[in-house]
Structure 1
Amino acid sequence: MHSTRAVTTIFAAALTAGVLAACGNGAGAGSAPTAEQTAAAAADNSGLVIYSGRNEKLVGPLLGKLEQAVGAPVQVRYGDTAAMAAQILEEGDNSPADLFFGQDAGALGALAKQNRLAALDAQTTGQVIDGYADENNLWVATSARARVIAYNPATAPEIANATSIDVVLEPKYKGGKIGYAPTNASWQSFVTALRVTKGEDGARDWLTKFKAQEPRAYERNGGVLEGVESGEVDLGLINHYYWYAKVAEEGDAVKSKIRFLDSEDPGALINVAGVGVVAGTDQSEAANKAVNFLLSKEAQTYFADETAEYPVIEGVTSKHDLPDLSTLKKPAIDLNDLDSLPQTLELLGQVGLT
């Protein structure tokens, strides 16, 4: 197992190399807080400080309701999920962060592995669907999303029947015809799923073949989808909710389609966004209230309707015509196994997909 110093070093090296570039996961700000911001936050212990790797445009309206829910002032720092996790590791016991709101299970698991998250009450984690909380109650999912292939039905009609992510390695898609977001946390978790299912050598081989396809890199999943829409690429690797949100906004004007692989292939990964209380916080009560608010029916309905994600508690439905989460086939991966994010970043750097 990597030591805390080693993990932090790998994260920092990734940051320096630009793996976690600005807006990498579509966050409102693409980097972690500056030293000046950290010092200022540390000096102000009057309220709850959240490090959020989630897009401010997506979750800002919801987090704006937290002050009333927790009964304390709330500061939210937006940035890249992995960059925020790295910041918490680097700050150690001096971190001003009280709550970490991450885009994927990998970053949450990496913090849990390094003892940077405090245990949640079992009643809190027990609210969610089985499999959507850390086995040691160190983090809990707030919403779920499926990896899908967005495609142009005119140029890539065969994607409609695809069941494996290997379809993107076919010769016809070579030469800038595939879109992906290399600094996106969900892409990184997909690569971790590749490592878990195919082994290190198998994942390296797949990524090497993918790089040989000369895929087109975008800053965000939304950019990937726009690339498919405009015909710049034939297909793109994204999360499902970007497409549903676009359809809700533009209706029949949307040209692209999406394919749920609906199989045990790593390309069918169902990942989560989630939260964890930072170990050592002096705002434990407020932080735990915030966690429970994000699992409330109000917040879960927001995720279901406003961001087109899957709710993680029973009894909440979506206005979007989503396939039932319980019916989707997915790889047999425990979300806790996605915690080797630093090793994934290292592999991506070695292969040259940063």
Structure 2
Amino acid sequence: MITRKRMLAALAAIAVAAPLAACGSDETTTADEGASLDAATLVMYSGRGEGLVGDLIPTLEDLADVSIDVRYGSTSELAAQILEEGDRSPADIFFAQDAGALGAVASAGLLAPLDAETLDLVPDAYQASDGTWVATSGRARVIVHDTEAVDAAEVPDTIDAVVDPRWRGKVGFAPTNASWQAFVTALRVSRGEDGAREWLEAFRDNEPVRYDNNVAVLNAVEEGQVELGLINHYYWYRLARDTGAENMRSAVNYLAPGDEGALVNIAGAGILVSSDQQEAAERVIRAMLSVDAQQYFLDETAEYPVVPALEVDEEGRPQLDELQGPDIDLSELESLEQTQQLLTEVGLL
């Protein structure tokens, strides 16, 4: 195992360093050029909260030989800001919580194509079809339930079962969360606008309980405020690691294969076309896919690593390639604005 880890670390170092080697030989690299690379400062717009990824930033800086100025915010707000700023954006890198926001920025022509060597580090399913963004970690939508109020056999395994009158006023969700909105976008892609509206209206009429974020949804289930919660898997696993699953009131449930509620989404990153530090930004993206960074996502955020070399080890938790979400290309989740408009129209935003 030690030998394997050392080998992986070496490969990761090579992957991060590869763009530098590709730029020219030692004979064509001057001392001034080397100094400018070391001094590079990049601006990252991060839709991932500081509490989740703040401790990772120094590792990325070390691996990529850059300084990173991180500006945190919600993924949807930062995407809208980039769209408004256009080619005047000060951002070099957009680190987003979901594929939809990355797709929206890419479809506006504001993300640059990534190097093939970078894209080759992850499976095709977890990168943009046009090569403008790449996944950095994966996550699944799940349902958590209150074990003191609901038997495991009763927990819905489809989103259509969630709108059964049995669950009226007993389901928590986070309407402004990017992952919830990505799920709704997947619903629109899968069922069309009319089908998505029909489900959302039924969900609304079943009186779901709104919370600010996934943490609040999970806490509400833990405290018995609601019986079911719609969240991303890693919130439950992080709490289980901190407190012990045996001490938790909630339990996690994966939805039926192919159901829209079982969407396997990603966090990911892309480089702004307007950035004047494309090479340095590419090194940061590669650093995000290094073994060190991927191990961070696995250990600290309880997300799925997207490089094939690493796997999860919690008992009962499926591997990333075992998850069976809906048959949707993540690049199709770009219509964030239309999703938000629909949610507003039905009164769920």
Q: Same fold (TM over 0.5)?
A: yes
Alpha-carbon offset, residue 333 of structure 1? 0.4
Quote the residue 2:334 is aligned against.
339
Q: Compare 279-288 and 223-232 and name the one that shifted more.
A: 279-288
Quote the residue 1:238 is aligned against.
231
Q: Contact (CA 8 Å) 1:151, 1:228: kept in 2 or not? A: yes
Structure 1 position 178 matched with structure 2 position 171: yes
Alpha-carbon offset, residue 155 of structure 1? 2.0
Q: 2: CA distance between counterparts of 1:282 and 1:133?
A: 23
Quote the residue 1:107 is aligned against.
101
- Picking from 309, 315, 319, the partner of 1:324 is 319
Superposition pairs for residues 76-87 of structure 1, below 5 Å? 76-87=70-81
Q: Contact (CA 8 Å) 1:163, 1:263: kept in 2 or not? A: no
Q: 1: CA distance between counterparts of 2:98 and 2:90?
A: 21
Q: 1: CA distance between counterparts of 2:196 and 2:65?
A: 47
Where do 5+ consecutive residues of structure 2 fail to align?
1-38
Quote the residue 2:111 is aligned against.
117
Structure 1 position 189 matched with structure 2 position 182: yes
- Picking from 158, 161, 181, the partner of 1:164 is 158
Quote the residue 2:16 is aligned against.
none
Alpha-carbon offset, residue 331 of structure 1? 0.6
Q: SS state of the match for residue 154, structure 1?
A: coil
Q: SS state of the match for residue 175, structure 2?
A: coil
Superposition pairs for residues 37-116 of structure 1, below 5 Å? 47-116=41-110
Quote the residue 1:256 is aligned against.
250
Q: SS state of the match for residue 312, structure 1?
A: coil
Q: Contact (CA 8 Å) 1:147, 1:269: kept in 2 or not? A: yes
Q: 2: CA distance between counterparts of 1:110 and 1:197?
A: 18
- Residue identity over aligned pairs, in percent, reads 51
* Residues 162 and 168 of structure 1, relative CA distance in 2, 3 Å threshold: closer
Amino acid at match of 2:42: L
Q: 1: CA distance between counterparts of 2:297 and 2:131?
A: 22
Where do 5+ consecutive residues of structure 1 fail to align?
1-44
Provide TM-score, normalisation by structure 2.
Answer: 0.86
Q: 2: CA distance between counterparts of 1:345 and 1:263?
A: 26
Q: 2: CA distance between counterparts of 1:86 and 1:186?
A: 16
Quote the residue 2:203 is aligned against.
210
Quote the residue 2:22 is aligned against.
none
Larger Rg: 2
Amino acid at match of 2:182: S
Quote the residue 1:349 is aligned against.
344
Q: 1: CA distance between counterparts of 2:229 and 2:290?
A: 33
Quote the residue 1:37 is aligned against.
none
Q: 2: CA distance between counterparts of 1:318 and 1:205?
A: 37
String of CA shifts for 1:312-336, please: whole Å, max 9, x gaps: 0111123434312222221100001
* Residues 317 and 158 of structure 1, relative CA distance in 2, 3 Å threshold: closer
Q: 1: CA distance between counterparts of 2:186 and 2:129?
A: 18
Alpha-carbon offset, residue 262 of structure 1? 3.5
Q: Compare 298-307 and 66-75 and name the one that shifted more.
A: 66-75
Q: Contact (CA 8 Å) 2:156, 2:162: kept in 1 or not? A: no
Q: 2: CA distance between counterparts of 1:78 and 1:299?
A: 19
String of CA shifts for 1:218-246, please: whole Å, max 9, x gaps: 11101100000000000000000000000
Q: Contact (CA 8 Å) 2:311, 2:319: kept in 1 or not? A: no
Provide TM-score, normalisation by structure 1.
Answer: 0.85
Q: 2: CA distance between counterparts of 1:306 and 1:318?
A: 12
Q: Compare 316-325 and 115-124 and name the one that shifted more.
A: 316-325
Q: 2: CA distance between counterparts of 1:72 and 1:313?
A: 23
Q: Contact (CA 8 Å) 2:312, 2:319: kept in 1 or not? A: no
Alpha-carbon offset, residue 160 of structure 1? 5.7
Q: 1: CA distance between counterparts of 2:226 and 2:154?
A: 16
Quote the residue 1:228 is aligned against.
221
